[in-house]
A = this chain, B = another copy of it.
Amino acid sequence: MGEKPTSSRPGEFSLIERYFAPLATNAGAVHLQDDAAVFAPDAGCDLVVTKDMLVAGVHFFENDPPFDVAQKALGMNLSDLAAKGAEPKGYLLGLGLSKDISEEWVAEFCRGLKLVQDQFQIDLLGGDTISCPHGPLLSITAFGQVRKGQVVRRNEAVAGAQLYVTGTIGDGALGLKLRLDEGLADKCGLSADERDFLLKRYLLPEPRVAAAQALRDYAVAAMDISDGLIADLGHMCGTSKVRAQVQLDDVPFSGAASAMIAEDTAFFETAITGGDDYEILAAVLPENTAAFEAALQAAGLSCARIGELLAPEASEPAIALSLKGEAYTLHGAGGFTHF
């Protein structure tokens, strides 16, 4: 509202010129010299657009390295695009900085953005930088594209489809547990490597961009798992009007996650209901499962079949879980809700 917070940081335009303009190499961004970006999807393609906001203290820790925060923020959005079968194109960055945030923070943050940009060949297209009382505050809008009609939806799953997840489940949520309780890794008998693996899986999700092609070719529905496997499966079932049968024995866990679960079975539910997986949940028709598995393998990604989708029945729960041949009931809540 016209008041100028003082800061030892360079001003907005200096920061943009020094740190953000070098990230904006797309012609439509005109080196961030305009208030708007201009671009179009390739001919015959639709844009796929996703938006995630992150605030310190909720989505990351205030003392997380900015290099990592940038990678996480961009990775979360690329994960959403990948689940839709989209190839990533670029992104807009909204960045709220409080007075205490240094130029070094911004420099390191941009170094993290650059790393992800180079990895996935995407560009910064534009954005907005603001001053705010409590920062950092991030808002990323990411753009991908698919050929028209090829987007993979969350709400188009059908009865009979087989349920798959990529990678391993629960590492992010268990990494967060380790982060919040310094003695926990020792208590669970984790090696330093196992501990670091889980901490990193929480801090630096790897978006499964390589899965996009297989999803486009073979999945009837897909979504990324960010609120926890069970909650997100619930979203898929709810919007698709199907129910699910999940064999929990088949949910893939990393060695480190398995070690924690072996130590305390409560971590089993942490793993299947906790958030921050950034793996992909996909529904694939039986006739396509072999080709889907082969395509993911060719893309360098592991996957596991964890259950199947069924026609809805009023008398049945939306999600039926089984473990060792018996029905399994969750002890706690089903997953992360944003509020």
Contact = CB atoms under 8 A, between A and B. Distances in A.
Contacts of A254: none
Interface string A170-210: 00010010000000000000000000000000000000000
Interface in A41-82: 41, 45-55, 57-61, 80-81
A55 B92 contact: no
Interface residues of A, number: 79
Nearest to A153: B34
Main secondary structure of the interface of A (DSSP, over half): mixed
B36 A155 contact: no
A239 B83 CA distance: 39
Nearest to A339: B131
Interface of A: 1-2, 4-5, 7, 9, 11-13, 28, 30, 33-41, 45-55, 57-61, 80-81, 83-84, 86, 92, 94, 96-97, 99, 125-134, 137, 139, 141, 144, 146, 148, 151, 153-155, 173, 176, 223-224, 235, 239, 274-276, 336-339
| Copies assembled | 2
A144 B99 CA distance: 33
Given A1-B59, A53-B96, A58-B1, A39 B46 contact: yes
Contact of A46 (B40, B51, B92): B40
A96 B55 contact: yes
B97 A151 contact: no
A99 B58 CA distance: 13
A137 B138 CA distance: 11
Contacts of A11: 337, 339
Nearest to A336: B2
A12 B336 CA distance: 11
A154 B29 CA distance: 12
A220 to B, nearest CB: 13
11 contacts: A1-B57, A1-B61, A12-B337, A28-B46, A35-B223, A40-B47, A49-B92, A55-B130, A58-B132, A129-B339, A131-B338
Contacts of A39: 46-47, 49
Contact of A173 (B2, B33, B46): B2
A186 to B, nearest CB: 22
B5 A339 contact: yes
A30 B155 contact: yes
Given A30-B155, A339-B7, A47 B38 contact: yes
